[in-house]
Amino acid sequence: MPTSNYVSLSSQIALDNRMQSVARNVANINTAGYRGEAVSFSEILANAGSDSVSFVSMGQTHISREKGAISQSGNPLDLAIEGDAWFSFQRGGEVAYTRDGRMQMDSTGRLTTVNGEPILSASGSTIQVDPQGGSLVIQADGEIAQNGHTVDRIGLFEISPDDKLKRYGGSAVVPEGVAFPLQDPSKARVLQGFVEGSNVNPMTEMTRLIMISRAFESAQKVMETSEDAQRGAIRDLGETS
């Protein structure tokens, strides 16, 4: 196979990876707290005889930390974070982090995510309130009051900007490092009765989808042109031999 075909093939693999990333973003445009992802590429040099050939890497996927739009819902169990912090919840034996603050109260009074996973306090414990004790008032620092009494505090956690984030289903992530309880309350505050949406821009993603499709078609055309030239050369050589 000609070297140009290998280069085109590496380009198509990279474009397919980027296409899948865009498709996930588009599918989660309306997912609360979802953090979109992008793919960065690098050049790979390889030797083909005496020449160096430049290939495209498959790309590294990273999760954007840009904020999503915050809208008012009026539901007292809907929370949004204004600033750089994350909610935390327990999933099996693991702890994950999310910007999706749509919470629920189960029959025992435990606060959970919309999927029934327990929300964690700043100390890492589950949050228990009185299911018959009336509505909850949640302050900017996450403090929970019921009937005028403080019962617990919703955990707000910091993730280092240097930590790579791994997708953990839906809008949840897990950092490669360790998340710490928020120390500086001026960095973030809780808004009760609000929900943060996805940070995916629909117009941007659709534009990317069109650009990737065109680039994929161009790479395919290069391969077809190269193969046609190769077949022509073989045919011409066969006729002259």
Domain locations in the chain as residue ranges: 3-64+209-223, 70-196
Q: What angle do CA 43, 47, 49 make, to 5 degrees?
A: 150
Q: How confident is the model at residue 226 (pLDDT cuts 50, 70, 90)?
A: low
pLDDT of residue 237: 57
Higher-scoring residue by pLDDT: 89, 60: 89
SS3 43: strand
pLDDT above 80: residue 16: no
Q: How confident is the model at residue 55 (pLDDT cuts 50, 70, 90)?
A: very low
pLDDT of residue 48: 47
The residue written with tokens 């065109």 in the block is 214
- 90-142 confidence digits (pLDDT tens): 998 899 999 999 999 999 999 999 999 999 998 999 999 999 998 999 999 99
Over range 170-191, report the average pLDDT: 94
Q: Is the dihedral of CA 176, 181, 183, 185 positive or negative?
A: positive
Over range 186-204, report the average pLDDT: 95
Q: What percentage of the chain has pLDDT greater than the value 90?
A: 59
pLDDT of residue 95: 96
In this structure, of 9-13, 90-94, 164-168, 179-183, the range with the lowest mean pLDDT score is 9-13
**DSSP readout, 57-73?**
---EEEE--PPPPEEE-
Tokens found for residue 234: 């073989």
pLDDT above 60: residue 150: yes
pLDDT above 90: residue 20: no
